[in-house]
A and B are shown apart, each in its own frame.
Chain A
Amino acid sequence: DIQMTQSPSSLSASVGDRVTITCRASQGISNYLAWFQQKPGKAPKPLISAAYSLQSGVPSRFSGSASGTDFILTISSLQPEDSATYYCQQYIYNPFTFGGGTKVEI
């Protein structure tokens, strides 16, 4: 199975800060990488698919990038409503696997 190693596991930042979350795949996954945002009691919300593509309705302060097996979610200017847990997921090889999550506190 492909392991997705996500870092950091938690972070605390201020409104307006630039925040980056990293996800490393244990082997090549092309760009079949998605990022999700989850708030307490809610379903995970897809933010980015195919490593770079912003899902419809997602604010443009969110962006995704990739370099080999390393993937990065960037929030360019952190907002209060961005307080959540973020997960990455590879969806090219079964079983699809998730990273361990990053809890973002503001």
Chain B
Amino acid sequence: EVQLVESGGGWVQPGGSLRLSCVGSGFTFSNYWMNWVRQAPGRGPEWVANIKPDGNEKNYVDSVKGRFIISRDNPKNSLYLQMNSLRAEDTAVYYCAAYSSTQGIYWGQGTLVTVSS
């Protein structure tokens, strides 16, 4: 059974930092582009960032460039998102998602990040 389990969410004040983690199992993690997608309350999903299977290419949505860093550790089947200089508008459920052009798509259940004073 494929699983993606996120952790690390919580409450943080504006300007603060959080590090999200995601552990995958049941599939060949190192073959997949890994993504973070977020969904603010009452809104549709928004793609945040992704990283190539070998970790050598990273892409970000404009609103998080320079503040968020995506990384992965393939031997640990793990994906990370370091979030700095957090703003109220970063409040959302953050999902870890695995994408393959041939093997399909998997999403986790999400972790809630709340940025508020």
Which of chain A's residues 40-58 have a Cβ closer than 8 Å to chain B?
43-46, 49-50, 53, 55-56
Q: Is the CB of B104 within 8 A of A98?
A: no
Residues of A within 8 A of B (CB): 32, 34, 36, 43-46, 49-50, 53, 55-56, 87, 89, 91, 94-101
Total chain B interface residues with beta-carbon distance under 8 A: 22
Interface of A is mostly: loop
- Quick check: is B88 within 8 A (CB to CB) of the other chain? no
- State the B residues within 8 Å of A (CB): 35, 39, 44-47, 50, 59, 61-62, 93, 95, 99, 101-102, 104-110
Number of A-B contacts (CB under 8 A): 49
Q: State whether A55 touches B47 (Cβ < 8 A).
A: no
Are A98 and B44 closer than 8 Å at their CB atoms? Answer: yes
A44/B45 in contact, CB under 8 A: yes
| A6–chain B nearest beta-carbon distance, Å | 9
